[in-house]
């Protein structure tokens, strides 16, 4: 039974924003192919979550519920998804280019013997074939390609690129519980414990505003001024770092932006003390607006920035924080 399937990501009882973006994208593809739009959900105690996706466009929701899916583990997720996809034979299978999607989908594609378009900035249909656009050569070139007619056609898309379509509260999805669950004794790896980081800010891949620091921050304690600016912007903002800052011990790796870190796509990206190497640009070049703050007027980041401030970030950033707070208080 053909269909357009999306992988629904969730955390702590809530769907991630990329799930709603994928459903909105799926609705556009459905209007061209005529196939039903289905969501795929894995977890433990998730039946209530499965019932929430109809208003966002899902015609059907397949969910795999078992203790082995309580926390993400690529081996169990790969086995469960592959078995279900083989039995239902969808035409298209999409996920977000998130940490989970980047780790999981190549494994699923290999298990299914099909191709995969990764880290796409655009996905469309052309004669029922997925037409994708994705960056190559560290983001210097955008490549267009068509996924071959193998089933399923698979792709991952960057978060924050698709506008979420209006919710239809009257729409209900058919919810189907699957039994494609591997046994614990068949798994070669087991997750014992998850150690959560101290930061309570939104994940970088979903943030609308990111304030990032580079080697110019000079010390990890100086990242406090970036956190204050991010806090001033409010909900949907987060703090990032360049590889140079991470390698210098100024920031943890989980907030690194770049080719060897996270690829982000916020509405606003503020680069503080970041020179703008190709590797860093590869992780944030698709941001809608880029603001660079650097005392070196020849820093490469200014070539990519929409707005640039040549000056001492330790003077500029606190002033920005004051102005943001002032504008917020006014209205």
Q: Whole-angstrom Cα distance, residue 77 to residue 87?
A: 16
CATH number at 4-186: 3.40.50.620
Per-residue pLDDT of 40-77, as tens digits, reads 999 999 989 999 999 999 999 999 998 889 889 999 99
Question: Within 10 Å of residue 146's Cβ, how many Cβ atoms?
Answer: 15
Give the largest CA-CA distance in the chain.
61
Q: What is the mean pLDDT of residues 191-209?
A: 80
Distance of CA 12 to the CA centre of its chain: 17
Per-residue pLDDT of 232-256, as tens digits, reads 999 999 999 999 999 999 999 999 9
Domain 4-186 identical in fold to domain 204-330: yes
Please report the pLDDT score of residue 190 as a whole number: 76
Residue 193 has pLDDT above 90, yes or no: no
Please report the pLDDT score of residue 197 as a whole number: 65
CA distances from 169 to 154, 166, 172, 244 (A): 29, 9, 8, 47
The confidence band for 139, taking pLDDT boundaries of 50, 70 and 90, is confident
Domain ranges (residues) in the chain: 4-186, 204-330
Please report the pLDDT score of residue 22 as a whole number: 98
Q: State the CATH class of domain 204-330.
A: alpha beta
């Amino acid at each position: 039974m053909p269909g357009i399937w999306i992988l629904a990501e969730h955390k702590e009882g809530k769907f991630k924003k990329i799930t709603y973006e994928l459903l909105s994208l799926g609705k556009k593809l459905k209007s061209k192919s005529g196939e039903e739009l289905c969501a795929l959900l894995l977890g433990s105690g998730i039946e209530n979550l499965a019932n929430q996706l109809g208003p966002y466009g899902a015609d059907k929701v397949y969910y795999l519920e078992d203790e082995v899916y309580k926390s993400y583990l690529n081996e169990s997720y790969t086995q469960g998804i592959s078995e279900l996809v083989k039995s239902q034979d969808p035409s298209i299978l999409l996920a977000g280019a998130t940490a989970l999607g980047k780790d999981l989908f190549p494994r699923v594609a290999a298990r299914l013997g099909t191709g995969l378009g990764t880290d796409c900035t655009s996905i469309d249909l052309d004669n029922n074939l997925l037409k994708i656009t994705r960056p190559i050569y560290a983001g210097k070139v955008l490549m267009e390609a068509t996924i071959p007619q193998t089933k399923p056609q698979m792709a991952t898309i960057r978060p924050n690129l698709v506008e979420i379509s209006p919710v239809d509260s009257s729409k209900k999805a058919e919810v189907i519980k699957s039994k494609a669950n591997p046994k614990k004794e068949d798994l070669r790896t087991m997750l014992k414990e998850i150690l959560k980081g101290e930061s309570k800010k939104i994940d970088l891949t979903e943030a609308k505003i990111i304030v990032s620091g580079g080697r110019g921050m000079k010390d990890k304690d100086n990242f406090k001024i970036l956190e204050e600016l991010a806090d001033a912007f409010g909900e949907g903002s987060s703090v990032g770092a360049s590889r140079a800052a991470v390698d210098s011990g100024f920031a943890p790796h989980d907030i690194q932006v770049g080719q060897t870190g996270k690829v982000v796509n916020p509405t606003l990206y503020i680069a503080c003390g970041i020179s703008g190497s190709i590797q860093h640009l590869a992780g944030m070049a698709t941001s809608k607006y880029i603001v660079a703050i650097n005392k070196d007027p020849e820093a490469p980041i200014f070539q990519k920035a929409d707005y640039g401030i040549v000056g001492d970030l330790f003077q500029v950033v606190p002033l920005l924080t004051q102005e943001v707070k002032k504008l917020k208080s006014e209205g």
